Structure 1
Amino acid sequence: MNNLIKAITLLSIVVCVGCKTKAQIETKKPNILFLFTDDQRGGTIGALDKYNVNTPNMDQLVQQGTSFTNSYILGACTAAVCSPSRAMLMTGRHYFNIEPNVYAQFAFSKEDQGKSDLLTFPEYFKANGYTTFATGKQHNGEDWLERGFSHIKSAFLGGMTTHFGTKVKDFEPETGWSEPYKNEEKFSSEVFGDAAVGFLNDYKEETPFLMYVAFTAPHDPRTPPQEFEDMYPTEDIELPKNFMPQHPFELADERIRDEVLLPFPRTETAVKKEIADYYAMISATDAQIGRILEALKASGKAENTIIVFAGDNGLALGQHGLLGKQNVYEHSVSVPLIFCGPNIPKNQKNDALAYLHDVFPTLCGLTGLEVPESVQTKDLTPVINGGEKEVRNSMLYAYNSWPGEVTRPSINNGGGHRAVRKGDFKLIVSAKKDVYTYQMFNVVNDPWELINLFDDENYKSVVEDLKVELQKLIEETGDPADLSKNEFGLFDNPEAYNFKKK
């Protein structure tokens, strides 16, 4: 009789396991929380020991995960660098192979803005059983948002805005977009933090979630809440080692909006004030990230959640005499990139070369999904897990003025940059009118990019190798730049920036 009872009990267990719903099986997949800041330069996290900024919650992510210390954006062909950057993040594609009406919406009619059939990672994860949620800055139009997200709360549709009184909208597939609304008392990061915390507090579904939380800070206007501004007295700010009153040679977009926020030449006092407010906005955003992490922990889902923290591009703020991000120096193309979660090594700082738009395939690798054929970048999972040292040994950086606006010299005035990183060395080719300027830096020994080795005979072979590598990457990525022509030939044929499916 006892054996019969045991057999019946075992059969009942098997039947119960076999009867699990699809939703219950889906919960085995990890949740995803993507935290995204605007204009946050790589290294501006206290735990990374490069800049003196207070970020206890970002520090916590560094300690709990794997940080990529050589993480970058590819670049942009418009002064609004964040828009191509976000388009690349969303699709895992190089901006040369994304429709320009998505990342340069200002150049297109309203009915064409954001129209694209390219696959985005929220859309892909939604199709694979995830409930997807977004809040914060969305700079590539409404089409991708409506297709990719199950719920949208407090979305800012645009490039930049005031941080107190940010105008936002909500979206639900059943009801569409809400009327715009704003809260003039709350800093933008708190508005988006509220939306993210609210989603976590209310989430009762059994399916896994993907949260996309995109802050508008620390992008200017640099107006931090007073309590955070008080943390950074201007007189205590240390100038960067590569501070210059002005850039040493003429370059692309040197009078773009970002660059005229301060007069020329730059003064030490004015730059210190910009840095102080920038750090204060990072700290204010860090506090909201802390609220979101606490809500995630309280939800009981933290142990099964992959957290990604990243920035959309860097910022000069006095380095090399520049203020903006319309260049390919380290301060403008470097971004923070951290992965935390199940089976991800803790407190690891990895120096493998990584692009921001590696996030799409890497999330696939970390969750066991196949990488879609449309994706052009690399899955960093083998590097994170220690199976491989790197997924690439070189990388391309690109910036130039928007081809359609070069006739407006007060805004854009032509010019561009192409650069390649391989090993410890980085070669930058800058084109302005009929002048080419070459710079080569050992970015490991000279991270501030102050010692130009291009004309040093001891590095002649390195220069030649980098030139070959640069041309190779231009061809591989679909970059329309022709290094043999004035200003890379980009303004001879604006049609080169029309969408080319590759």
Structure 2
Amino acid sequence: MKKVIGFKIVLLLMFLGCKEHSKKANLETKTNEKPNIIFLFSDDQSFKDVNALGNPEVITPTMDKLVEEGTTFTHTYNMGGWNGAICVASRAMIISGRSVWRAQQISGNYSKNEDLDKTWPRLMQTAGYETYMSGKWHVQAKPDSIFNHVGHVLRGMPFDTPEGYNRPQSSNDTLWKPWKKEFGGYWKGGKHWSELVKEDAVSFIDDAAKKDNPFFMYIAFNAPHDPRQSPKKYVDKYPLENISVPESFIPEYPYAETMGAGRKLRDERLAPFPRTEYAVKVNRQEYYAITTHLDDQIKDIIETLEKNGLKENTYIFFTSDHGLAIGEHGLLGKQNMYDHSMRVPLMIVGPNIDKGKKIDTDIYLQDVMATALDISGIKKPEYIEFNSLLELAKGTQTKSKYSSIYGVYEKASQRMIRKDNYKLILYPKTKEVLLYNLKEDPLELKDIASNPENITKIKSLFNDLVQLQKEKGDVLNLELIYEDVIQ
């Protein structure tokens, strides 16, 4: 009898041992799974709209924590756009992997399945990722045709609010308040759109935590795009007397009409002409407030990851589709080639990514797509024109794969090249050329194109720009105006 009992105990111990071994094996398998990837995408957020990136006026503790916990690319650019809706081009580039003009060519041609197969989420699916999207879309391919799961799909910008334009005229102009829900905009539907997208993301993460598949999330907020609305408590964080006027402030940009960003452009009509310091301060106050509100939504998403034990095996990307002027150089919008409108924040947090590191190498924000493919083990297809940032982030690569940065607005309104700490801006319609020494003049305050000693630099940059045009499929013939430009 004792022998039987002893034998049963041995069997039980063997069973428990096997079970424990099985548990460890499963744990090992989970540890070795592909990492999750979350892409957090804001709208109209300049690199100057993050506290940890040099602006002490804006309150962004969550974004600051991303800077602290990961690697930040401090010189990240969008190429521009083919019309006033710069975000359309930016998002078409990031979803397709093509540069601006080739992205335009295919953006309206997503009817064929082979075109859909080449998009970012479809590529992620080939590596076993569950793909999810919620928020602003503004791409012609339908989200549910390329993502496994789709939350709320929001339009390019919140519904127009006529009361939000040409204001404030003076301190007596008090009709508009960012928290007034009767004006619609972000409040249309009853809940602020940033909160709506946040709740979608939190719900998906809670559900995904119960499953084994890795996930890729494309979370696109409309904020801080106008109308810059947020609850009153956020606006109250920014007393107007604490808001400074940008150093580059002027009442009106002298080349606005020439470059296609004049008084008729929607973005520019948000504030009165000529610009006043008071109007700029109010617009910046509201810009900061909606940014802080956005920051709190991102905080909830990241805390949900932590609560579910998923953060350690998740890469988080945060960037924006382009920047915004908000009173710099006499401009309100993003339809220009200045850094405040082309340059965005870009932070990467995740396994084996250095903490608190800042890299000043010039890159494009659309490099995020190629980086995600790299992380997930997908070989980058030849048609993708952007590059992975993983080696730069891990310190195994030190130089950018781009010798210069290309910028464009509309077919013939603006061209730009940034190279070797110089920026050349060209307005082809009037053959106006601007030149900035970015090392000595990072705020782009002093145009040095008229200095005779800079003619060699202008010629060199112009020739490089023509070469960039050929690489990007830009058909505008700048060579026809070459002699006039360099005189």
Relative to structure 1, is the Cα distance of residues 244 and 183 closer, same or farther in structure 2, using a 3 angstrom cutoff? closer
Q: Match for 2:52 among 41, 47, 71?
A: 47
Cα displacement (A) at 1:16: 6.0
2:76 is paired with a residue of what secondary structure? strand
State the distance in 1 between where 2:383 and 2:261 align.
32
| Cross-structure match for 1:261 | 270
Counterparts of 1:276-425 in structure 2, within 5 Å, are 276-401=285-410, 415-425=412-422
| Cross-structure match for 1:483 | 478
Counterparts of 1:23-172 in structure 2, within 5 Å, are 28-50=33-55, 52-100=57-105, 102=107, 116-117=115-116, 119-143=118-142, 145-161=143-159
Q: Which moved more, 1:461-470 or 1:228-237?
A: 461-470
State the distance in 1 between where 2:362 and 2:375 align.
18
Letter in 1 for 2:338: Y
Relative to structure 1, is the Cα distance of residues 194 and 17 closer, same or farther in structure 2, using a 3 angstrom cutoff? closer
Cα displacement (A) at 1:444: 2.7
| Cross-structure match for 1:458 | 453
Cα displacement (A) at 1:185: 3.4
Cα displacement (A) at 1:188: 1.1
Q: 8 Å contact 2:406–2:465 — kept in the other structure?
A: no
CA RMSD in angstroms, aligned pairs only: 3.2
Letter in 1 for 2:97: G
Letter in 2 for 1:469: D
Structure 1 residue 246 corresponds to structure 2 residue 252: yes
Cα displacement (A) at 1:101: 7.0
State the distance in 1 between where 2:313 and 2:352 align.
10
Q: 8 Å contact 1:123–1:147 — kept in the other structure?
A: no
Cα displacement (A) at 1:199: 1.1
Q: Which moved more, 1:457-466 or 1:33-42?
A: 457-466
TM-score w.r.t. length of structure 1? 0.82
Cα displacement (A) at 1:278: 0.5
Relative to structure 1, is the Cα distance of residues 258 and 485 closer, same or farther in structure 2, using a 3 angstrom cutoff? farther
1:484 is paired with a residue of what secondary structure? helix
Cα displacement (A) at 1:115: 11
Letter in 2 for 1:443: L
Structure 1 residue 223 corresponds to structure 2 residue 229: yes
1:376 is paired with a residue of what secondary structure? coil
Relative to structure 1, is the Cα distance of residues 19 and 304 closer, same or farther in structure 2, using a 3 angstrom cutoff? closer
Relative to structure 1, is the Cα distance of residues 67 and 96 closer, same or farther in structure 2, using a 3 angstrom cutoff? same
TM-score w.r.t. length of structure 2? 0.84
Structure number having the greater helix percentage: 2
State the distance in 2 between where 1:117 and 1:151 align.
15
Letter in 2 for 1:238: S
Relative to structure 1, is the Cα distance of residues 252 and 245 closer, same or farther in structure 2, using a 3 angstrom cutoff? same
State the distance in 2 between where 1:44 and 1:113 align.
39
Higher-Rg member (1/2): 2
Q: 8 Å contact 1:156–1:167 — kept in the other structure?
A: no
| Cross-structure match for 1:439 | 434
Structure 1 residue 235 corresponds to structure 2 residue 230: no
Residues 16-60 of structure 1: per-residue CA shift (max 9 Å, x gap): 699979x95796111011111010011311111135210000000
Q: 8 Å contact 1:397–1:420 — kept in the other structure?
A: yes
State the distance in 2 between where 1:196 and 1:332 align.
28
Letter in 1 for 2:299: G
State the distance in 1 between where 2:222 and 2:281 align.
22
Identity %: 36
Q: Match for 1:270 among 270, 279, 293?
A: 279
Residues 379-428 of structure 1: per-residue CA shift (max 9 Å, x gap): 11121111222223433433333x6xxxxxxxxxxx51111111211111
Residues 53-110 of structure 1: per-residue CA shift (max 9 Å, x gap): 10000000000011111101011011000011011111221021124573xx7xx9xx
1:352 is paired with a residue of what secondary structure? coil
Q: Which ranges in structure 2 are unaligned for 5 or more consecutive residues?
A: 1-10, 161-177, 483-487
State the distance in 2 between where 1:165 and 1:212 align.
30
State the distance in 2 between where 1:225 and 1:395 align.
42
